[in-house]
A and B are shown apart, each in its own frame.
Chain A
Amino acid sequence: MVSENFIRELESIVGASHVAISSTGIELYSYDASLIKSNPAVVVFPGDTQEVAQVVKAANREGVAYVARGFGTNLSGGTISVTEGLVICMSRFNKILGIYPEDRYAVVQPGKTNLEVQEAVGKHNCFYAPDPASQKVSTLGGNVGENSGGPLCLKYGVTSNHILGMEMVTSDGEVVRVGGPVLDSIPGYDLRGLMVGSEGGLGIITELTLRILPKTETVITMLAIYDDIPSAANSVSRIIAAGIVPNTLEMMDATVIEAVESNKPCGYPRDAAAVLIIEVEGMKTGLKEQADQIQEICMATGCREVRVAGSEAERASLWAGRKGAFGAMAQLAPNYLVNDACVPRTNLPEALEEVAAIADKYHFRCGNVFHAGDGNLHPLLLFDSRNEDDLKRVHKAGWDIMEACVRLGGTITGEHGVGREKQEGMHLVFSGDDLNTQTRLKSAFDPNNKLNPDKVIPLSEPKGQPLPPTPPRTLKRPGGASASGVAEAMAEIKAASASGGSVIPVGAELLETYGNICDASAKPVKSLAMTDVIDYDHENQVITVGSGMSIDDLQALVAEHNQWLPIRPPFFKDGSTMGALAATAVSGPERMYYGAPRDFLMGLQYIDSEGKVISTGGKVVKNVAGYDMTRLLCGSNGTLGMITEGTWRIATKPELCTMTSGTGDLASCSKAAVALMTANLFPVYIAAVPVEGDNWRLTTGFEGLTDVVRHQTDLTSALLAKNGLTDIADKDYDLLTGPFKEYFQGLDQKAYVIKAGAITTKIPELFNGLKMALNGSQPEWFLDFGCGRIYVAVDTLDQQTYDAVCKKIASVGGHIRVDKAPEAFKRSNDVYGTLPRPEWKLMHAIKKALDPKGVFAPGRMQGKI
């Protein structure tokens, strides 16, 4: 119950018509799309960020817990107030605030639906990649809270890969901005990554900055028909191994085919065991060849027939069955439960057999429609929600399905979230220590446990106590404390922690240390003995290795299966380790196409400040079980723990790498770069280096199937010429070395390397400003237009110049980190800039929660903490 005064206060903040307290109002906000139901005490509909902040402050005074909600389509009970608290409905936050194709971002309010955003950015010839099946009704706020996937995520990744920044209200009612439009996050902990998938437990999002991409040219849709499921699953693996990344691989089983054909027939053969909708998109050139190759692969892996859509109408009809599948299944019973779990995709046939056996055991009809490409299952169980016994059994069946998927190496939820429904399921994949760490993380954001409390992490007995340190009940995590080199490091850290000392995790010690200078007493703990290959599942394109393994060794290892890890970190040396890559999260200009370490790390293990091994994530691409500790640790730079192993997603090597360059003044190069950013092409990087005077050489490259690369290279030459560049030339290069290795080595000769981040269209302005500030120090430059970065290397940097540099960067909305500087500079300066940022407060809170005694790398963080 809440007090009359509190209701009056809410009414005075948002207006009486935006507060619901009636019996009907409460009933209407007691449910979402899951089976969970619980009454809130009151519902408010704030109209702007300030109102949200005031509502939160008022709730804090009243001692009431609160949960933010959009359109309430959550499938795990995440938007229900389970403590009879306040529901903050964000449906009035429904505006699109800006769309910027040249810089590839859009700013929207969280109450806008995914589809509305798609339509709005579509008008600018762009798209927003995450496309959950619920996109017509699920809001962006919810998509971010759950880290939604969708059919397209096989090719483009999930929501987390496409959120650049946000404005949020924290549990103390303050408004904080996290991230921004720049592709690289603000240096420091990956707060935006942490917020995605946090299920409303860390803050209330009031504005979002999304990454958008130029639309592709064309699409080919196919329907592959199978007499047995293992063959279909086999086709999926073979297609991906061939280096083709379809944007969709959607499977439907016999039950669903039957339901679809009985409801609204769309020509799926009723006697098939499974059908697969395969869609490839991209440049017109080369796409038909890809489709042909897919057909060959399908036919060679036991496919009965492949139908290719010859027209838009045929394409629509192939999709009609998939889109109508839930509806068709819904006709068969009063209700259906959509389950959500993941397995490594090669384990799909076993998973489906288990699902069938479970459905049999509990006497439910069951159909499967799912994203086969990423192993994300959605078994639909048919039941009657009015029947208590049905309800009990359907819960049990759901639990068993989840457990079976975890047994097969997967996870409890791929995209629907943990919420209230799967809270206990967290024990299947995490140890008590892992979960207690996540609780501590939440408390860093929400010390009084008022933000969507009693969700995600299993409740302890008695409440508020840590969970017992039991291992995960079902998931087997090889490696960990038993991997070579880990026990020793644990002992060292434990000893340091016990004696009030501190440590610095180190790898090959080849890198100029990122971050501020550490306390001199901190003892280095080496990872070099952690060289185990813990698991290499080349079919699923996943590898788990110890932190001490060098990147070169890893690349050589996976090259045996024609695979690679698509990261070329600048300034890394021969022998630099995977641990360093995970800890620094450094990426090269290829980030704009492939992503950064945060996008490839699927899970990791680390030693925490008490010397215990903590696990995060897993080995499946889609995994939304718990807070995204993987992203938090990735880039934490040794300040939260010592990463002992990482599970990385790897890819098939591209056939060909070619770059195209042209020379021109900065204005022309910048114009050409923007043209490339918005073109119907897939540039892997867009960067410029100085030639002489105001002449720059702009280089862009393409990596992939030979035909497609060649075609894009031709188009690019024309594009560069059109924008006034001359001396245009193509050159093939080695994949692993990349095009800029030598240039970066050149920059590294200087005493200082500054990295500044700003959006693409601000690069020229930022360059000119920095050039003025650094006048006389003979700077060397690398302008990374694609990622929105400038690297500038100088031999001298005095205090006054540093101040001017920081101010200039701030004036274009950018951010700074000095990647390399002499010790003397570091002693008297903060390498994260002279202007403290508001989000540092959150970073410090996280550090305090996870490393309360300051065991790890003291002094290294922003603000020299």
Chain B
Amino acid sequence: MDIREQYDAIAQCNKCGFCQTACPIFRSTGNEAGVARGRLALMRAIIENRVNWSKEMEEPLFNCLGCGACTTHCNGGIQTADLIMKGRAVYLEQVGRKPIHKLLFDHLLPYPERLHKAARFAAFGKNSGMSKVAKALGLLKVLGRDFSKAEDLVEKLPTKPFRGTIKPGEYPGTGESLRIGYFVGCGVDIIQQDAGKETMKILQKIGKSVTVLNNCCCGLPPWTYGDAEAAAKLASKNLDIFSSGSFDVIVTDCSSCASFIKKYPKIFEKDVTKQAKAKALSPLFKDMVEFLSEHGYPAPIREEPVIVTYHDPCHAVRGQGIAKEPREILKSIPGIEFREMPEANWCCGGAGSYAMTHYDLSMQVLDRKMKNVASTGANFLVTSCPACMIQLSHGVRKHGLDITVCHISELVAGAKAMNAGIKMKKSA
């Protein structure tokens, strides 16, 4: 790949600086290296031979959260996050890729079983305090640098994946006709299993059948890292799985997966056959929030009044334009008082594996988020992305807040269980 191919898009930057408005990284560092204008300027400088590819480009390219907030504030509407991913791809070619990425992207993510195994080792290590084992293995050690600080991001790892309990395959539902495919993202599969269980319950109430797919990773992590090839491989495997059954709709409760799968046609820009397949299948795909909003959901019951606030995952609000729906859903649940937090659509700093690679920066972004969360006085902090949930839970612990982080499915399906959850946590 040659960054010159992106010259037109990069040159569209007028250097007005409006991207600085809402870039969480720039707002933390105040450094031009951490904002769209600067990143674009450097890529342009490379094209115009003022700057060479070198390690110096790592920080500007890799400390981007990819949250897309800059595009919202850009007069020219430049898709900087996409351009950064492309820049990263060239960087990896020119400056080099670490072996650990090869292990993760080429040998773990495409194979759910291997990933489960790795996660089990990691969980064993983490839960038993054998941090060396945890460090040495799999999912958590993605890109390395700040990992030792990031180790506490996940409090406790389940020993069994979600699909170890609810095995891939078709399950009957009580709905009339809808045949639903349930895409289980890595986050739900390995960490946020409570969310998955509640999603499953809701889907079974709505659908005639729910098929838990034997999908692999959606491909977003390697894509974000600039490894388009690995992403395409994963996407291609998943497309085969989508077309292997007959579904009216495929749902995922991970907004990041949803937003990326909707983008599949873009990945296969150079493969016409696969692109056609992606174009045909991607309309079937729905974010859980979107699905609930379109299909309705069983009326939730709640006994005690609670205060709820909502965090917009970047991949929901900017990735898919979902903002109104979750708020409408939350407001429709009896007993819930919804309170909007300031800057609800600002990135939480999790950004997939970002928190592990850039822990300090990520925490600065998270601190701002937590201040906003706390200002609402909410009992529940709701979102629709498991990666955000990991980060937000870490923030709640770090700031000592009495707030439960949960997936929107958990509130919709398990109102009573949630209350019990609060009491248990408080007494513990």
The 8 A CB mask of B28-55 against A (1 = contact, 0 = none) is 0111110000100110010000111010
Contact A327 B75 (CB under 8 A): yes
Is A24 touching B11 in the complex (CB atoms < 8 A)? Answer: no
Instruction: Answer whether residue B14 sits at the interface, using C-beta atoms and an 8 A cutoff.
Output: yes
| One of B15-23, B142-150, B224-232, B324-332 at the interface | B15-23
Beta-carbon contacts under 8 Å, A12-38 to B = 20, 22-25, 27-29, 31-33
Report if A61 contacts B (CB, 8 A): no
Q: How far, in Å, is B351 (CB) from chain A's closest CB?
A: 22
Q: Number of B interface residues at 8 Å Cβ cutoff, please give it.
A: 33
**Which residue from A136, A331, A336 sits with its C-beta under 8 Å from B18?**
A136
Measured between alpha carbons, how far is A28 from B56 in the docked complex, in Å? 12
| Contacts A23-B52, A136-B18 given; does A334 touch B30 at CB 8 Å | no
Q: Which residues of A contact B41 (CB under 8 A)?
A: 27-28, 31
In the complex, the answer to whether B51 meets A27 with C-beta atoms within 8 Å is yes
User: B21 — which chain A residues lie within 8 A by C-beta?
Assistant: 115, 136-137
Q: Does B138 sit within 8 A of A, measured CB to CB?
A: no
The answer to whether the Cβ of B77 comes within 8 Å of any Cβ in the partner chain is: yes
In the bound complex, do residue B77 and residue A331 qualify as a contact, i.e. CB atoms below 8 Å apart? yes
Q: Mark A304-342, 1 if CB is under 8 A from B, else 0.
A: 000000000000000000000011011100111000000
Interface residues of A in 262-317 (CB under 8 A from B): none
Residues of B within 8 A of A (CB): 7-8, 11-12, 14-18, 20-21, 29-33, 38, 41-42, 45, 50-52, 54, 56-57, 59-60, 73-77
**A contact face: mostly helix, strand, loop, or mixed:** loop
Q: Tell whether A31 pairs with B15 under 8 Å between CB atoms, given A45-B30, A137-B20.
A: yes
Cβ 8 A contact of B30, one of A73, A89, A386? A89
Interface presence of A707 (CB below 8 A): no
Task: With CB as the reference atom, state the residue of chain A lying closest to B76.
Answer: A330
A135-155 with Cβ < 8 A to chain B: 136-138
**How far, in Å, is A172 (CB) from chain B's closest CB?**
27
Contact of A91 (CB < 8 Å), options: B16, B30, B57, B74: B30
Across the interface, do B75 and A334 meet the contact criterion of CB distance under 8 Å? no
A24 to B56 CA separation, bound complex (whole angstroms): 7
**Contact count band on A:** 35 or more
Question: Nearest 8 pairs between A and B by C-beta?
Answer: A91-B30, A327-B75, A28-B32, A330-B75, A73-B17, A136-B21, A24-B56, A330-B76
Minimum CB–CB distance for B372 against chain A, Å? 13
List B contacts of A334 (CB < 8 A): 8, 11-12
A111 at interface by CB-CB < 8 Å = yes
* Nearest CB in chain A to that of B16: its residue: A33
- Enumerate chain B residues within 8 angstroms of A203, measured Cβ to Cβ: none
Could you say which residues of chain B place their CB within 8 Å of the CB of A327?
74-77
Partner pick for A23 among B11, B14, B20, B56, CB 8 A cutoff: B56
Cα A73 to Cα B60 with chains together (Å): 19
- Nearest opposing residue in chain B for A24, CB measure: B56
The answer to whether B17 and A386 have CB atoms under 8 Å apart is: no
Quick check: A33 and B17 within 8 Å, CB to CB?
yes
Residue contact A45 to B31, C-beta cutoff 8 Å: yes
Q: A23-B56, A24-B51 are in contact. Are A92 and B30 (CB under 8 A)?
A: yes
C-alpha gap A842/B45 in the complex (Å): 43
Indicate the member of A28, A31, A89 with the most B CB atoms within 10 Å. A28
CA distance A111 to B26 in the complex (A): 13
Q: What residues of B have a CB within 8 angstroms of the CB of A25 in the complex?
A: 33, 56
A827-852 near B? 1/0 per residue, CB < 8 Å: 00000000000000000000000000
Interface-central residue, B30, B51, B57, B59, by most chain A CB under 10 Å: B30
* A24, A71, A138, A384 — most chain B CB neighbours (10 Å): A24
A584: shortest Cβ distance to chain B, in Å? 42
If A23-B51, A137-B17 touch, does A111 touch B77 (CB 8 Å cutoff)? no
Residue interface bits A377-398, CB-to-B below 8 A is 1, else 0? 0000000111000000000000
A351-408 CB contacts (< 8 Å) to partner B: 384-386
**Shortest distance from the beta carbon of B75 to any chain A beta carbon, whole Å:** 4
Q: Nearest CB to that of B7 among chain A residues?
A: A386
Which residue on B lies nearest to A74, using beta carbons? B17
- CB-CB under 8 A from A32, the residues of chain B are 15, 17
In the complex, which of the residues B11, B32, B33 has the most CB atoms of chain A within 10 Å of its own CB atom?
A: B32
Q: Are A335 and B42 in contact (CB under 8 A)?
A: no
- The residues of A that contact B7 with a CB separation of less than 8 Å are 386
How far in angstroms is the closest Cβ of chain A from B376? 15
Q: Are B76 and A72 in contact (CB under 8 A)?
A: no
| Contacting residues, chain B, for A50 (C-beta < 8 A) | none
B20 touches A336 (CB 8 A): no
| Apart from A31-B41, A33-B16: 6 A-B pairs, beta carbons within 8 A | A27-B50, A91-B31, A92-B30, A134-B16, A335-B14, A336-B14
A137: chain B residues within 8 A (beta carbon) = 16-18, 20-21
How many residue-residue contacts, CB under 8 A, span A and B?
93
Q: Is the CB of A29 within 8 A of B17?
A: no
Looking at the assembled complex, report how far the CB atom of A704 sits from the nearest CB atom of chain B, in whole angstroms.
Answer: 36
Given the known interface contacts A45-B31, A385-B11, the answer about A331 and B76 at a Cβ–Cβ threshold of 8 Å is yes
- Residues on A with C-beta less than 8 A from B11 are 334-335, 384-386
How far is B18's CA from A92's CA once the two chains are assembled, in angstroms?
A: 18
Name the B residues within 8 Å of A28 (CB-CB).
31-33, 38, 41-42, 60
Q: How far is the CB of A41 from chain B (nearest CB, A)?
A: 16
Q: What A residues does B29 contact at CB under 8 A?
A: 91
Say which residue of B18, B57, B77 sits within 8 Å of A24 (CB atoms): B57
Q: In the complex, what distance in Å separates the CA atom of A446 from the CA atom of B258?
A: 59
* Bound-state Cα–Cα, A125 to B73, Å: 27
Write the chain B residue with the least CB distance to A384. B11
In contact, A29 and B32 (Cβ under 8 angstroms): yes
A347 contacts the other chain (CB 8 A): no
In the bound assembly, the distance between CA atoms of A134 and B16 in angstroms comes to 9
23 chain-A/chain-B pairs, Cβ below 8 angstroms: A20-B33, A27-B41, A27-B42, A27-B45, A28-B60, A33-B15, A33-B17, A45-B30, A71-B20, A91-B31, A94-B30, A134-B16, A134-B18, A136-B73, A137-B16, A137-B17, A137-B18, A137-B20, A138-B17, A330-B76, A331-B77, A335-B12, A336-B14
- B17 lies within 8 A of A72 (CB): yes
From A25, which residue of chain B is reached at the shortest CB distance? B33
Return chain B residues, CB-CB under 8 Å to A73.
16-17, 20
Contacts of A134 in B (CB 8 A): 16-18
Q: Whole-angstrom distance between the alpha carbons of A94 and B28 in the complex?
A: 10
**Which residues does chain A contribute within 8 Å of B12, judged by CB atoms?**
330, 334-335
- Give, as a whole number of angstroms, the nearest-CB distance from A15 to chain B: 13
Interface centre among B17, B51, B74 (most CB of A within 10 A): B17
Distance between Cα atoms of A329 and B32 in the complex (Å): 25
List, in ascending order, chain B residues with CB within 8 A of A331's CB.
76-77
Q: In the assembled complex, how far is the CB of residue B126 from the closest CB belonging to chain A, in whole angstroms?
A: 31
Task: Report A629 CB to chain B, min CB distance, Å.
Answer: 30
Q: A255 CA to B275 CA in the complex, in Å? A: 39
Instruction: Look across to chain A and name the residue whose beta carbon is closest to the beta carbon of B57.
Output: A24
- Roughly how many angstroms separate A27 CA and B38 CA in the complex, as a whole number? 9
B109 to chain A, nearest CB (A): 31
Could you tell me the distance between the alpha carbons of A128 and B50 in the complex, rounded to whole angstroms? 42
Q: Which of B18, B57, B60 has the most C-beta atoms of chain A within 10 angstroms of its own C-beta?
A: B18
Given contacts A33-B17, A137-B17, contact A111 B75 (CB under 8 A): no
In the bound complex, residues from chain A placing their C-beta under 8 Å from that of B60 are: 24, 28
List, in ascending order, chain A residues with CB within 8 A of B15's CB: 31-33
Q: Do A33 and B32 contact each other (CB < 8 Å), given the known contacts A24-B57, A27-B51, A330-B76?
A: no
Give complex CA distance A23, B11 in Å.
Answer: 20
A335 CA to B56 CA in the complex, in Å? 28
Q: Which residues of A contact B20 (CB under 8 A)?
A: 71, 73, 137
Q: Enumerate chain B residues within 8 angstroms of A386, measured Cβ to Cβ.
A: 7, 11
A15 to B198 Cα, complex, angstroms: 50
Report the bound CA distance from A92 to B17 in whole Å: 17
Closest residue of chain B to A93, judged by CB?
Answer: B30
Q: In the assembled complex, which residues on chain A have CB atoms less than 8 Å from the CB atom of B76?
A: 327, 330-331
Q: How far is the CB of A254 from chain B (nearest CB, A)?
A: 20
| Complex CA–CA separation, A334 to B50 (angstroms) | 21
